[in-house]
Chains A and B, each alone.
Chain A
Amino acid sequence: MFISKIAGLAFAAGALTAVSVQAQEVNVYNSRHYNTDRVIYETFTKSTGIKVNIIEGNHDELIQRLKSEGASSPADLFITVDAGRLAAAAKEGLLAPVTSPALEAVKVPANLRDPDGAWWGLSSRARIIVYALDRVKPGAITTYEDLAKPEWKHRVLTRSGTHPYSLALTASMIEAKGDEATEEWVKGLVANLARPPQGGDTDQIKAVAVGEGDVALANTYYVGKLITSAKQEDREVAAKIGVVFPNQSDRGTHVNLSGAGVVKTAPHPENARKLLEYLLSPEAQRQFADGNMEYPVNPAVAPHPELTKLGSFKPAAVNAAAFAAHTPQAMRIMDRAGWK
């Protein structure tokens, strides 16, 4: 009796949610959680008639799901907030190189895509230093390395070292300066912390504004969102802080890259390519820029005016895949140095 009820309910629920078996669809595994992305998919469906089915999740878990499903996986396109994970998936043979005249015509910078097209960058965010306008002179801090200098003792704020943004920054430091120098840097940074790492990027920015610390690491799009927020108190926070694009005189500012790759076993590879082309098109890139305050990878699309006001900057030229390989080493260094 119980069993039949369960089976009935499970079936009903399954039927409610089942993906219709038709060719005009594309299945996306997605680790981006932004509401503003929905507009992009809806517009794509309207103009092409291709329905976009989505599962959102953590990129590592989605990779595990892809592996377990193997050839029977329904996934067509894999989108992540961290291109390093795409590079890892490509290395494991989960992604198929894809290119087309339309994709090449976008002229995505070489460090923001895989040379063979196994993955393509979509948008980037710069890891910047935020400082308190009333307590820090402009020019007092210009590099990530400065954060470890003794003069910043008890003044630095960061989020958890386990977060992908922190890991990626440390990994990029390993790529640029090697293991030993990076370990010294992390130790110096930890010694300078105003409080144990906690909260998200927005929390760091707010903490600088209210004086819990004087400088903090944050991503550009969180700053942009505070500046353009509908809430008075958010704009007040934004008015109290200044931003620095670090390392302009040497390797450039570290950027976190979001990207996408077509799954090797995709049941709808053509639709996946079409969606990828659309994601790089000026229309979708404008939505990444204006809706979510990210830097578009398409050079023909300008960032949001408020981001442009923060200043133009030189991003680090190294390919995202290069420092992704350093992530485990970065975690070990941070464990030893105590960046929790």
Chain B
Amino acid sequence: MAMATDATSPGSPAVSVRRLWSRIGPTGLLAVILALAIALPILAVFVQSAGVSTDLWSHMARTVLPGYIVNTLVLLGIVGVVTLVTGVACAWTVTMHDFRGRGVLQWLLLLPLAMPAYVLAYTYTDFLQFAGPLQSALRAAFGWRRGDYWFPEIHTAWGAGLVLSSVLYPYVYVLTRAAFLEQSVCVLEAGRTLGCTAFGAFRRVALPLARPALVAGVGYALMETLADFGAVRYFGIDTFTVGIYRTWFALGDPAAAAQLASVLLLVVLALVALERLSRGRMRFHQTTSRYRALPAPRLSPGGTVVAWIVCLTPVLFGFLLPAAILIRMILRGGTELTLARFTDLTVNTFILGAAGALLVVGIALLVIHGVRHDRSGLAGGAAKLASLGYATPGTVIAVGILIAAGLMRDWAGWPVGAILGTTIAGILYGYLIRFFVVAYGPLESGFAKIGPNLEGAARSLGHTPWQVLRRVHLPLLRPSLLSAAMLVFVDITKELPATMILRPFNVDTLAIEAFRMASTERLDDAALPALVIVLVGLLPVIYLSRSIAAARPGHRG
């Protein structure tokens, strides 16, 4: 029967290719090619997983696999709930209320973005463990011994979840705050005139309208959690990603490790699809362009105190406390770092961050432009595939690149060794794969807010899609482009595993230096490079904060 329908269908292959071409167009095709190039090393991991080792799987199913799954789910649950509640509460507090210190809190809340999760992990585990300074001081002060007192154990899923949340909530905060700021005051006022209380308008109007931002923010946090290896290792929590490393390196089975990685990626794909499905036909454009400064009620002194407590708590745990512990380590330890090496590390970190941010944002812009003009759905699907990189552990990406590069060497005779050994092409490719969605997300929501009307008008006035992009979209997208670039820059300054393995000779970054010291158990010496990573990341973070506030239509711009 299938044959019969095929035979009677109007198109020969040539016709259907032509029809596909008319739907996808040159911009769409470019997007598909770019997105597939990003997905290639991830696909290489799937290919690698072909060899089946059933014996090893049954061993893992009987021993460690249930633990990997449970730990990962518990961690995701904690991070999901904590980042959502913290991010939304803080965004609502600083956006919709006026109180003393609001301006300071607005950017203080972003500081944890600059703090690498693995740095937070080792500062907290070192500080809070039994032999650490805090418990030692307590024992000395009260004459306690082991078992005399209760102290929360940091080496648990709760410890790891809370610590990860305290650096990941800014993703929810940034995107939710931007969403609140971009909501036309009209919809909120309409809600109020229909009888909503202020909180009711928040719950029933603002929050549902901000849904894409909430989902994107929590999605980032969860994907970072899935990809994390550096931090969970310090907590001794065996997650799926730890399992991938174990299987690969200790059990010596790359195929089984790639299978585990594939399962991880399929779960992420399923989650992404599920969210899209549940969103259904909902759209989130603003129906009016009437904007003015949001009406922020002035808080009472009591309200101000509550607002400060709400907003300062995450900053305390995600930035102030760990920064203080790092400074304490530096003061205790001193450092062997010479000024020349220190400068070298900082300059390398900057160059990689800047080059990576430009590349990733540029490519993401080309892809999303293509996706918007593609009517075949292919480009959108390819972009989804390319987004998987963010949930993929850096080492898996790096090794995926190496496998793909090996294939290019065999087939096309590429001098892979010379390229990796002397240029930063390999690292930049790694960043592109890992952080593509970090740029793509803000651009996507930026485009969504512009809506189709402007483009329609420009096209009817005779602009080509490329001219629309350059003359209409780019100026309107400027804030989104900058946010995307800043986020990618900060992520790159913190990135470790892909940089480590894909770099050319003699190129060290601050993150690598911090890792070298920490891995040889010289935590005090790791503190200085770690703190400088934070400082390097701080500049774009502060800039980001200013640009979000300024980007609101109706605010001073």
Residues of A in contact with B (beta carbons under 8 Å apart): 2-3, 5-6, 9-10, 12-14, 16-19, 27, 33-35, 53-58, 60-62, 64-65, 67-75, 160, 162, 167, 195-203, 206-207, 209-212, 222, 230-231, 327-328, 331-332, 335-336, 340
Contacts and interface: CB of A to CB of B under 8 A. Distances in A.
Contact of A54 (B63, B139, B505): B505
A112 B501 CA distance: 28
Contact of A61 (B236, B398, B425, B505): B398
Nearest to B515: A33
Given A17-B348, A69-B417, A332-B251, 7 more contacts: A10-B355, A53-B506, A58-B501, A61-B398, A162-B246, A198-B235, A199-B125
B242 to A, nearest CB: 8
**Which applies to chain B's interface (DSSP): helix, strand, loop or mixed?**
helix
Contacts of A195: 130, 155
9 contacts: A6-B355, A10-B425, A12-B351, A17-B506, A58-B501, A65-B501, A68-B403, A74-B421, A231-B333
Contacts, number: 189
B249 interface: yes
Interface in B223-252: 233, 235-236, 238, 242, 245-246, 248-252
Given A6-B359, A19-B506, A74 B351 contact: no
A58 B421 contact: no
Interface residues of B, number: 76
**Which applies to chain A's interface (DSSP): helix, strand, loop or mixed?**
helix
Given A60-B249, A231-B332, A332-B59, A222 B521 contact: yes
Contacts of B130: 195, 207, 210, 212
B418 interface: yes
Contacts of A340: 236, 238
B512 interface: yes
Contacts of A202: 521
B139 A210 contact: yes
Interface in B384-425: 395, 398-399, 402-403, 405-406, 409-410, 414-418, 420-425
A99 to B, nearest CB: 26
Contacts of B52: none
Interface string B495-511: 00000110111111000
Contacts of A209: 131
A28 to B, nearest CB: 8
B421 to A, nearest CB: 4
B355 A328 contact: no
A201 B250 CA distance: 19
Interface in B257-281: none
Contacts of B418: 72, 74
Given A14-B425, A162-B246, A199-B125, A19 B501 contact: no
B402 A64 contact: yes
A207 B421 CA distance: 42
Contacts of B500: 56-58, 61
Given A27-B421, A65-B501, A202-B521, A70 B399 contact: no
B344 to A, nearest CB: 10
A208 to B, nearest CB: 9
